[in-house]
Amino acid sequence: MRYPQLSFVRQNNILFIRVFMILFLSCIAFRNNLCLSSIPSTLKALPLDGHFTFDEVHFAAKDFGNRYQFLPAAILHPKSVSDIANTIKHIWQMGSHSELTVAARGHGHSLQGQSQAHHGVVISMESLQGPEMQVYTGNSPYVDVSGGELWINILHESLKYGLTPKSWTDYLRLTVGGTLSNAGVSGQAFQHGPQISNVNQLEVVTGKGDVVTCSEKHNSDLFHSVLGGLGQFGIITRARISLEPAPDMVKWIRVLYSDFATFARDQEHLISLRRTFDYIEGFVIINRTGLLNNWRSSFNPQDPVQASHFKSDGRTLFCLELAKYFNQDKSDVVHQVRHEIEHLLSQLDYITSTLFLSEVTYIEFLDRVHVSEVKLRSKGLWEVPHPWLNLFIPRSKIHNFADEVFGNILTETSNGPVLIYPVNKSKWDNRTSAITPEEDTFYLVAFLTSAVPSSTGTDGLEHILTQNKRILEYCEKAHLGVKQYLPHYTTQEEWRAHFGPRWEIFVQRKSAYDPLAVLAPGQRIFQKAIPFS
């Protein structure tokens, strides 16, 4: 007789739980909608020199990687540093009950949504106006620039004074704040270090909205935190970049190797010399038909007859790319440079028939990737997915890596360059937030692939991502001590492993300069804690 009563109670309990869950979820939805709907009104009230955009926000949900799209609630177009500071301070003062986060977006060249802020505020750094770029000459010349300035513009302006930055990236249409938040690496890094090793001073807006000027001697912890800090501790609004006397011409050289060990040995030899080339990079070429014929559009073979008989089809080759800078108005220097190049090349063991040379202006050399960009844009192949993978590999493990990756994993012609070259760790400052392997020499290996939209073949996105995964799994399994450059992880455990013993310092710095985790949510390192009430 009691079973119907138990059944009735059970049904009532289930009904109660369902009603409670509906009300609970409705409260969350109501709270979120109320919070999101009130965001524009609170931001609109801020006193600004620039302005917010709340409707046309789609461009800020895209980046060069073309794989992640997160719509922000608003885009700030700042005309002053105070616009950025006031916005961040306002969000900081809203406390942990606000869902708002902030991401700085330079030229949108991030790969995994790092410059995006889902339902947050994206700051368009290229809108930032302030004191114009200023070049200071003297014994220790430097250029004072906005964090939203493009490196190509810095090149043109500094050359007016016969000066130039020392360290570059291969592509120059990137913002100062963007590259300094990572490292900024190219073929000059073995000699001058990355771009973050060539900064005298920064102006930074912290996650609390404070505007702080910092350098090695003044607010040095913040200075080193921000350099290579992935945007976690502050937004770089201004920087002083070290300069040196500029050349006007470049001897540009390419040679090929069929043996990786010889290729690596020659690269390591060159970066160890006191007097050597000004730029040293390498790249991998797999099964490329008519390779040397393609080079003839930009380079001249030293021996045209021998070069015409060289076949690259079906082979894995390694190209060493070199550059020597000079000033053409000094005839004695031109002769000396020619002699130095001949002397350096005589120490290398490349395939003699593959020596190609060119002479270009300094600007043409540094801006060489832009030529490819123009071609790709004309074919509609620039704004495609770019599942890039950039790794730092200890010198002691590079041969293991090359044997497995170029022997077993990467066996097809890559849809984009594969860079590989060594750098000297002594040129990096370990006080910065940038993470590198624990060896005196390590290699940058960059798989700069482009995915063909809708392709299901080897040039498709899924195939390239699977290939990247295989490479990372091998590195993990073989305990190579690899560190990602432009890192991307999805869990804090992975980030903890990436930073290793420096994780605690990274967390302490976050607590000091952005305790609410307002900044750079797209890195997925820290999550803003939002209590339910």
Among the listed residues 126, 144, 157, 170, the single catalytic one is 170
What's the 3-state SS for 394-414? EHHHHHHHHHHHHHHHCCCCC
d(CA 388, CA 405): 15
Residue 73 near residue 120 (C-beta atoms within 8 A): yes
d(CA 427, CA 430): 9
d(CA 142, CA 427): 19
d(CA 533, CA 521): 23
d(CA 179, CA 404): 31
DSSP states of 292-349 as a string?
Answer: HHHHTTT-EESSHHHHHT---TT-EEEEEEEEEEE-TT-HHHHHHHHHHHHHHHTT--
- Residue 364, number of CB atoms within 10 A of its CB: 16
Q: Is 109 known to be catalytic?
A: yes
**Which tokens hold the place of 475?**
């590195």
Among the listed residues 107, 109, 192, 224, the single catalytic one is 109
- Sort strands 102-105 and 51-53 into parallel, antiparallel or unpaired: unpaired
Q: Is 340 known to be catalytic?
A: no
Query: Closest by alpha carbon to 472, among 457, 456, 454, 490?
Result: 490
- Spatial neighbors of 12 by CB under 8 A, at least 6 apart, are none
Paired strand residues for 324: 251
Helices of type H across 108-254? 151-159, 176-180, 189-192, 220-226
**Which tokens hold the place of 384?**
């495609």
Query: Closest by alpha carbon to 121, among 524, 528, 519?
Result: 519
Paired strand residues for 137: none
- Spatial neighbors of 230 by CB under 8 A, at least 6 apart, are 114, 181, 182, 433, 487, 520, 523, 525
**Which tokens hold the place of 57?**
């926000």
d(CA 68, CA 45): 31
Query: Closest by alpha carbon to 356, among 442, 437, 293?
Result: 293
d(CA 446, CA 484): 10
Place of tokens 């949504």: 113
DSSP class of residue 190 equals H
Among the listed residues 281, 367, 404, 514, the single catalytic one is 281
Q: Is 404 known to be catalytic?
A: no
d(CA 22, CA 411): 54
Please give the positions annotated as active site: 109, 170, 281
